[in-house]
Amino acid sequence: MKSSTESQTLTSAPFQDLVREMLIRLGEDPEREGLLRTPNRVRSAYEFLTKGYHEDPDALLKKALFTVTYDEMVIVKDVEMFSLCEHHMLPFFGKVHVAYIPNGKVIGLSKIPRLIDIFARRLQIQERLTTQIAETIQKAIDPQGVGVVIEARHLCMMMRGVEKQHSAAVTSSMLGCFRQELETRNEFLSLIHQRPNGV
């Protein structure tokens, strides 16, 4: 167990020093040519991959709410998503499908992929990511219902552990009429799995 002094030293050390220490503990030489700039590159990469911690999803959506009388299903599907598994800090990636039925307000379409990115650019588990997207939309516009489905592949399963390269995880969050009405839910699931030619 680390002493409090040792823990304070680790938390106050520059990120690059921690990466250098990791390289040494892995048996590498951080002074060799190929690794000289690795600590800086890793710091920059993780700052980008976790930038969602510094962004406000509620503020994002408030800037793009529009009053309408439209009350049919709105779907934004096949949104590419990349995130980091909080258990191993390895990537998982896939597609997100979002639908809602308005109740007087809609969200600017470009804001839905941005909302997904805010939550994906954090250490995540797929289940929580799915519910965070759905609940934030529900809170922002109080629609008749929201549905979110994520299909993703996890490198923690593909590169280590069970090493199953073709496995995928599918999660869903259904709120309001998407949970209560089978017909609405089935329409959503059918539409997100249609190919471009309508088949």
156 given a catalytic annotation: yes
Active-site residue, from 126, 144, 151, 177: 126
**CA contacts within 13 A on the Cβ side of 89:** 5
Q: Are 149 and 142 in contact (CB under 8 A)?
A: no
- Distance between CA atoms of 97 and 30, rounded to whole angstroms? 42
User: Which of 16, 156, 181, 187 is an active site residue?
Assistant: 156
Distance CA 188, CA 172 (A): 11
Contact present, 2 and 10 (Cβ < 8 Å): yes
Catalytic residue among 87, 127, 180, 194: 87
148 closest CA partner among 77, 60, 53: 77
Residues 6 or more apart whose Cβ sits within 8 Å of residue 129: 81, 83, 119, 120, 150, 171
Q: Which tokens is 80 given?
A: 């590419």
Pick the catalytic residue from 85, 132, 151, 177: 85
Q: Give catalytic status of residue 166 as yes or no.
A: no
Is residue 87 annotated as a catalytic residue, yes or no?
yes
On whether the CB atoms of residues 119 and 161 are closer than 8 A, the answer is no
Query: Which among 88, 135, 138, 187 is annotated as catalytic?
Result: 88
**Catalytic residue (one of 6, 31, 47, 86):** 86
**Residues annotated catalytic, as ranges:** 85-88, 126, 154, 156
